[in-house]
Structure 1
Amino acid sequence: MSSWNESMHFCSWIGTRRVVTLNLQAQKLAGSVPPSIGNLTYLTGINLINNNFYSAVPQEMGSLLRLQYLNMSQISFGGTILTNISRCTQLTMIDVFSNKLIRPIPDQLSLLLKLTVLLIGRNNLTGTIPRWIGNFSSLFALSLGENNLHGSIPNELGRPTALQRFILTSNNPSGMIPSSIYNISSIYYFTVTQNQLHGEPPQNIGITLPNLEVFAGGVKKFTGTVPASLSNASRLRILDFAQNGLTGKLPAENLGRLKWLIRVNFDMNRLGISVLRCWVLAAITLEENYQPASIANLSTQLKILTLGENLIHGSLPTGIGNLVNLTLLGMEGYHISNSFPDAIGKLHKLEGLDLNLNRFSGPIPSSLGNLTSVTRLFMDANRFQGCIPPSLGNCQNLLILNLSSNNLNGTIPREVVAIKSLSISLTVSNNSLTGSLPSPTRKLVFYDAQITACISSRHIRKQVIGEIPETLGSCISLQRLLLEGNEFSGHIPQSMEKLRGLEELDISRNNLSGQVPKFVGKFRALKYLNLSQNDFEGKLPN
């Protein structure tokens, strides 16, 4: 309209005397909400999401008697939940998620009987969960997660028969989940992870909650067995019972009927594991369980497979190369032995490979160089032999490489150290490597090339020799430099003066000589320094 311009105050614009919606989402606003907002008495909706208001909400907002929709999530405001808002009895939605609200949930909110959405998670609210929430008969979304609520879950929360989303993660409630909640058949999103709740999941949960899409009950004290009736929840996509005390066998045949299941997490229980064969399963995490069966016939749609610290033994199946969509493979802490299959090189989408703490032997296959998407590679604490394959230099997205505590020999390939992305950690300690130390990448944070000098008094390992590279000083992000127990000679290079972020420096048990440079005394971030068993002379720097 022509009158809506800067020539007059916006309150004089035609039509603005009856503002019904205030939408200021993500406008980078800061400061406080002005008390004059209470003058906009025709407001039915307020959206202030994703701004930076630092003070409490003004009491004048309680004058907005026509208000139906209030979204003040992620705006950093603190104080208590506004008690005066209880006068806005037309409210159907309150969203104050992710702020800095404190103290208990005020009882005055019990007057807002038309609420359908109550999202007050990710604050610092204390006290108990109010029983009167059960009086919101039209409620379909309730989020209380990530607060400091304690006490038991009121049985009254089972009254809102239209409830669809129930979120109570990361609080301190105790006791058991009331059976009345398990009987709300409309619930499709149910998450109670990281609480002090206990008890057994009902064996008929898939029948009483047939619309489940997400069930997250991890990091609690659930006991008993996994309900086979979950197969009745045909829409189930995510199932998480991690870090509980579940026993018995995983009902793989039943869960295999869930054609939309994309993520399963049962790690750190006491389950016997069988193969899950679901059409679109994208993630399986079954770490720290008992007696798992074969994994060779899993869905080719699988993206995440973590089975660490189980009792799998024998060889890694060559059929694992068929899981071509894997982005993460975690099988650390097994009893897997024999040689490492070349088929792993077929997993071109792999970003993380955790195979440490096993009994792999033989050479590291050069086919690992085909994993051009991999960012972290952990193969430490095995029995690998032979040389580090130069083909690893093809992994140009690698951030972390750990090959320590094996039986590797030969030199550290320049192709590996030259990986430009290798910016967090390179660990090749406790092997039988020889030769000089190649110059590392400029961005490296952790360079651990120490070789333990002795396994016993009778078994002396070969060591890295030569001088510490002058170019090491270009690693200005370096935080840990561990080169102990080698045969480095010469002086500490002056270029290391640039390593102002060093927190750990261990160059003990070498043949270094000369004076300890004065710049070592200026490493303000240094927490650990070991220069022992060298041939240094002169005074230590202040």
Structure 2
Amino acid sequence: MKISVHNKTLVLFLSQLFSLLVSKACHFKHNIISDPSKLLHSWSLSSDCCSAWEGVACDPSGRVVNLSRPGIVWGSDFLFDTYMSGTLSWQLIDLKGPIPPKFGELSHHTHLFLDSNKLFGSIPTTFRYLFKLEKLYIGNNYISGVVPSSVFGSLSSLLELGLSGNRLSGPIPTSIGKLVLLTKLDLHGNNISGSIPVSTGKLKSLTYLDLSGNRIIGRLPQSIGALSQLVLLYLNHNQLNGSIPSSISGLNSPRFCQLSQNKLAGALPASLGQLPKIERLIFKNNKLSGKFLEGTLQFSLTFSSPTIVLQARFLQVFSNLLNLQTLDLLTNRFIGQIPSQLAKLQRLDTLDLSFNPLGLVSVPSFFARLKLFRLLLERTGIEGQLPSWLSSSYVSIFDLSSNSWTGKLPHRIGNMTSLSFMNLSNNGFQSSILAEFRNLSLLMDLDLHLNKFTGPIHEDTMGDVKKLTALFLSSNNLKTIRSSGKIPPRKASIPVSGFIDNPGLCGAPLPPCNHF
């Protein structure tokens, strides 16, 4: 069969081509009748394939060990016959059309990579003959139809299965439980419906499970606790309901568990305290409620839901979480003081209590002993003045906006030399813009709008913050240097919205000063 090479048709990457002789490579060249993109320009039959052909590599015995030239059109019996030898691993890119049923003849193959193409249609039922297949990836295509039960009930050697980013529908077949050697199952980003089959619990070698971004309903099966080797679990953005099963304690190995954006309800099971290796739990935007039951958890925890109601003593349990790195309680209904026991969490680098009615009189002083990278306390009802000790050189993202802060900014704020984002907006700060801001050389985003800041903007302050790309000073009582009317020129590229409602400010991007 003659084949033509095009630049934007099927792209074929051939690798680990250990059995293809040079003579076959020459035969392959002989079958090419059109090469408009000059991909094989150097492949002259009068030259040595190993030394002169671009994209060809040979071993000392003269065998081709690597062939990598994009643009080879699908349809060559030579290529397919070579692939059927069982010694070739290759990936197709920019493949269009349905998957040829002839792929079912590749019974000796262990790897098949068809991901990130433009394939459509259904998964061929002939795939059930790929008895030796260990890795199958067809993700990021336009494959539709149901996940064929007959296919996945037959691939008993399969270790990794990736079908994400397609248009697959229908339920996950119960035959999935026959893939007992499976270590990775990725079905995210489809239209899969139905419930998670109980047979999933038979996949005892599974370390990675991603069913996120589908339409899966029903309860989490108790059998999920049998996945003792599971490390990463993604079930977010589905329609799961009911409570989290107590059998979750059987997950001995998980480090990341993502269950957000579902309809999970009820109290958190006490068995969550029996996950020794967990580092991060994300349960935001569910309907969880009740009191958190104490355990010996060591994880990063995210609970974020408008409907979750937990008692303030919930926070006391975190004193045991010595490996905790992220504590994210965004958008809940926590009230009261933050317990000082949190100071024990020396590995904590992210603390987000935003949108909780804490009603604190001040930021707890033990915060000074934490090495936080992110500190987010937006809209938590904090009152009083910003303490002078709140000047950690570790903090990069710092948000105290929409509270009831008053008084002056402490001069030690200039010690926060790692800051890249600072938001103090919508408070009652009354000081001038501190000259110490010039020390914040990494600062990119500064929001001070809706306060009572007064005085001039000194050019040697804002002008020295060279990485600053977003500056919001609107709705204060600021003025320019000596009220002469000129915003420091380095900041003139900031939109006008960043400066409006300051009666003393003029000059670009505001109207010229002679208008006042």
Q: Does the pair score TM above 0.5?
A: yes
Match of 2:419 in 1: 422
2:131 aligns with one of 107, 114, 123: 114
Match of 1:455 in 2: none
* 1:228 to partner: Cα distance: 2.9
* 1:91 to partner: Cα distance: 0.5
Q: Secondary structure at the match of 1:90?
A: coil
Question: Does 1:487 find its partner at 2:515?
Answer: no
Code of the residue aligned with 1:486 in structure 2: it is: N
Q: Secondary structure at the match of 1:329?
A: strand
- Percent identity over the alignment is 21
Rounded to whole Å, the distance in 2 between the matches of 1:496 and 1:367 is: 41
Match of 1:123 in 2: 140
Match of 1:298 in 2: none
* 1:85 to partner: Cα distance: 4.9
Rounded to whole Å, the distance in 2 between the matches of 1:214 and 1:82 is: 30
The Cα offsets for residues 369-406 of structure 1, whole Å up to 9 and x where unpaired, read as 3333x22211232333333223232x223222222233
Code of the residue aligned with 1:511 in structure 2: it is: P
Code of the residue aligned with 1:427 in structure 2: it is: N
Match of 2:190 in 1: 171
Rounded to whole Å, the distance in 2 between the matches of 1:143 and 1:239 is: 20
Question: Does 1:349 find its partner at 2:347?
Answer: yes
Match of 2:211 in 1: 192
* 1:195 to partner: Cα distance: 0.4
Match of 2:119 in 1: 102
* 1:145 to partner: Cα distance: 4.0
Q: Secondary structure at the match of 2:434?
A: coil
2:287 aligns with one of 250, 258, 270: 270
1:496 aligns with one of 472, 489, 493: 489
Rounded to whole Å, the distance in 1 between the matches of 2:325 and 2:180 is: 38
Rounded to whole Å, the distance in 1 between the matches of 2:105 and 2:57 is: 15
Match of 1:296 in 2: none
Rounded to whole Å, the distance in 2 between the matches of 1:102 and 1:16 is: 28
Q: Is the 8 A contact 2:239 2:262 kept in 1?
A: yes
Q: Secondary structure at the match of 1:511?
A: coil
**Change over 3 Å in CA distance of 1:506–1:265 after alignment to 2:** closer
**Change over 3 Å in CA distance of 1:513–1:70 after alignment to 2:** closer
Q: Is the 8 A contact 2:21 2:64 kept in 1?
A: no
The Cα offsets for residues 235-285 of structure 1, whole Å up to 9 and x where unpaired, read as 5665443322223333324x4445455544433332345546666642333
* 1:467 to partner: Cα distance: 0.6
Write out the 4+ residue segments of structure 1 that deviate beyond 6 Å after TM superposition: 31-40, 42-48, 54-58
Q: Is the 8 A contact 2:289 2:310 kept in 1?
A: no
Match of 1:524 in 2: none
* 1:511 to partner: Cα distance: 2.9
**Change over 3 Å in CA distance of 1:513–1:229 after alignment to 2:** closer
Q: Secondary structure at the match of 1:360?
A: coil
Question: Does 1:399 find its partner at 2:417?
Answer: no
Q: Secondary structure at the match of 1:362?
A: coil
1:467 aligns with one of 428, 445, 456: 456
Question: Does 1:433 find its partner at 2:432?
Answer: no
1:221 aligns with one of 239, 244, 248: 239
* 1:130 to partner: Cα distance: 4.9
* Superposition RMSD in Å: 4.3
* 1:93 to partner: Cα distance: 1.8
Match of 1:368 in 2: 367
Question: Does 1:202 find its partner at 2:221?
Answer: yes
**Change over 3 Å in CA distance of 1:312–1:43 after alignment to 2:** farther
Tell me the matched-pair count.
460
Question: Does 1:359 find its partner at 2:358?
Answer: yes
Match of 2:383 in 1: 385
Rounded to whole Å, the distance in 1 between the matches of 2:260 and 2:108 is: 41
**Change over 3 Å in CA distance of 1:224–1:404 after alignment to 2:** closer
* 1:192 to partner: Cα distance: 1.2
**Change over 3 Å in CA distance of 1:406–1:421 after alignment to 2:** same
Q: Secondary structure at the match of 2:382?
A: strand
Match of 2:498 in 1: 506
Rounded to whole Å, the distance in 1 between the matches of 2:162 and 2:348 is: 36
Rounded to whole Å, the distance in 2 between the matches of 1:52 and 1:495 is: 55
* 1:152 to partner: Cα distance: 0.9
The Cα offsets for residues 146-182 of structure 1, whole Å up to 9 and x where unpaired, read as 3122321363743734342332112122233455555
**Change over 3 Å in CA distance of 1:155–1:510 after alignment to 2:** closer
Question: Does 1:538 find its partner at 2:515?
Answer: yes
Q: Is the 8 A contact 1:128 1:152 kept in 2?
A: yes
Question: Which stretch of structure 1 is more off in the superposition, 229-238 or 357-366?
Answer: 229-238
Gaps of 5+ in 2: 1-18, 25-37, 44-48, 50-54
Match of 1:302 in 2: none
Rounded to whole Å, the distance in 2 between the matches of 1:149 and 1:218 is: 18
Rounded to whole Å, the distance in 2 between the matches of 1:142 and 1:67 is: 18
**Change over 3 Å in CA distance of 1:260–1:377 after alignment to 2:** closer
Rounded to whole Å, the distance in 2 between the matches of 1:375 and 1:210 is: 33
**Change over 3 Å in CA distance of 1:404–1:488 after alignment to 2:** same
Gaps of 5+ in 1: 1-14, 21-30, 291-309, 453-462, 521-530
The Cα offsets for residues 474-518 of structure 1, whole Å up to 9 and x where unpaired, read as 334434322223222224545334554x3563323323256x33x
* 1:106 to partner: Cα distance: 5.4
* 1:57 to partner: Cα distance: 6.4
Q: Is the 8 A contact 1:270 1:288 kept in 2?
A: yes
* 1:54 to partner: Cα distance: 7.4
Match of 1:288 in 2: 305
Rounded to whole Å, the distance in 2 between the matches of 1:341 and 1:276 is: 17
**Change over 3 Å in CA distance of 1:337–1:85 after alignment to 2:** closer
**Change over 3 Å in CA distance of 1:327–1:106 after alignment to 2:** closer
**Change over 3 Å in CA distance of 1:316–1:154 after alignment to 2:** closer
Describe how 1:30-49 pairs up with structure 2 within 5 A. none
Q: Secondary structure at the match of 1:166?
A: strand
**Change over 3 Å in CA distance of 1:211–1:346 after alignment to 2:** closer
Code of the residue aligned with 1:391 in structure 2: it is: W
Rounded to whole Å, the distance in 2 between the matches of 1:513 and 1:259 is: 57
TM-score (ref. length: structure 2): 0.73
Q: Is the 8 A contact 1:134 1:158 kept in 2?
A: yes
Q: Is the 8 A contact 1:116 1:136 kept in 2?
A: no
